[in-house]
């Protein structure tokens, strides 16, 4: 029986209410040295759903776990069929005003870096350079045997060749690039092996039930230690992979600010949570700072 990973939390009574006041965020950015921590909520305006917001994918979808993927050839066939189709949707996604605002803040020297929990590559597409992909990226593939890396586009071409005519209509797309397909739609989809050693290929992303590489975690911890403040954008902070950095900042007195429409698990540690849509909120902050989200400084 496939078990659901622990993916939800219940907000405690007494959490500080959300606000619409963006001035603390603008003030923090004026000082510079801000570290951004972003989640799926920053990509929703690009057409990629989040996990836990209204209509989030977890209401209809159980993400693939590392244990399922490594333990079952059938699970790998389902994953790659769904991910192969989902990649086509991801490939059409474009950065939105939230991604562009983050990139603009970086260009102006206001951000010390970006830690993203997302695997969609949209921060980089918007022009951000100092991005740490906490959970990896869907644009590359790793062999579980020989650890060779290869581009996802190369694998996509091989899967197209092995599964000519595979074009089912998905019921939806999920933040991890997994399209909703039935077992009948998956059918006898063919998975291809590593071209180096014939081993099992896996996207270079951290599945649920898998640990973030320790060296990556320590790099992020170092970024938090050096930051003047931590700005959380579009994350519920439900899972520990992101929450630990909020807790670290709070322990050392580094101010934490959150922009997320719904309550988050990090709210007790934050100076405030701005409960506004991210694109509009970050655009308004950029305007206050006379920064154009399309590059340069506003006239």
pLDDT tens digits, 31-58: 999 999 999 999 999 988 765 455 444 4
**Chunked in runs of 10, what are the mean pLDDT values of the chain (299 residues)?**
49 77 98 97 87 49 86 94 85 92 97 96 95 96 97 96 87 74 88 97 93 96 98 94 97 97 94 95 96 63
Residue pair 105/115 in contact (Cβ under 8 Å)? The answer is no
d(CA 281, CA 136): 27
Nearest-Å Rg of the Cα atoms of the chain is: 20
Pairing of strands 136-143, 201-205: antiparallel
| CATH 3.30.300.30 holds for 19-48+96-135+211-299 | no
Packed helices 152-162 and 73-92: angle between N→C axes, nearest 10 degrees: 110
219 annotated active-site = no
DSSP tag of 19: B
269-285: per-residue pLDDT in tens?
999 999 999 999 999 99
Domain range annotation of the chain: 19-48+96-135+211-299, 56-92+138-205
Q: Do 234 and 219 meet the contact criterion of CB atoms below 8 Å apart?
A: no
Cα dihedral value 238, 239, 244, 249, nearest 10: -30
Q: What CATH number has the domain spanning 56-92+138-205?
A: 3.30.1600
Question: Given 84, 135, 219, 269, which residue is catalytic?
Answer: 135
The answer to whether 248 and 266 are in contact (CB under 8 A) is no
Q: Write down the pLDDT at residue 3.
A: 39
Contact 46, 93 (CB under 8 A): yes
What does the pLDDT read at residue 286?
97
């Amino acid at each position: 029986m496939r078990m659901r990973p622990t993916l939800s939390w219940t907000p405690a009574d007494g959490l500080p209410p959300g606000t619409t006041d963006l001035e603390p965020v603008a003030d923090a950015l004026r000082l510079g040295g801000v570290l951004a921590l972003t989640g799926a909520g920053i990509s929703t305006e690009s057409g990629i759903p989040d996990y836990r917001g209204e209509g989030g994918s977890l209401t209809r979808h159980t993400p693939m776990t590392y244990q399922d993927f490594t333990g079952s050839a059938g699970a790998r066939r389902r994953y790659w069929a769904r991910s192969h189709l989902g990649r086509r949707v991801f490939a059409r996604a474009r950065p939105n005003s939230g991604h562009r605002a983050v990139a603009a803040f970086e260009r102006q020297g206001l951000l010390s870096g970006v830690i993203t929990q997302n695997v969609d590559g949209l921060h980089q597409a918007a022009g951000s350079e100092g991005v740490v992909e906490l959970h990896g990226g869907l644009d590359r593939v790793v062999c579980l045997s020989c650890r060779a890396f290869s581009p996802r586009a190369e694998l996509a071409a091989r899967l197209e060749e092995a599964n000519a005519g595979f074009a089912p209509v998905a019921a939806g797309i999920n933040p991890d690039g997994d399209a909703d397909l039935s077992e009948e739609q998956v059918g006898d989809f063919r998975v291809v092996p590593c071209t180096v050693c014939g081993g099992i290929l896996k996207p270079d992303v951290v599945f649920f039930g898998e640990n973030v590489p320790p060296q990556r975690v320590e790099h992020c911890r170092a970024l938090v230690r050096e930051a003047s403040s931590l700005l959380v954008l579009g994350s519920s902070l439900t899972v520990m992979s992101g929450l630990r950095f909020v807790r670290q900042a709070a322990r050392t007195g580094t101010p934490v600010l959150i922009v997320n429409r719904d309550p988050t698990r990090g709210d007790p540690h934050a100076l405030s949570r701005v409960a506004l849509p991210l694109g509009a909120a970050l655009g308004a902050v950029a305007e206050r700072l006379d920064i154009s989200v399309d590059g340069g400084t506003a006239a």
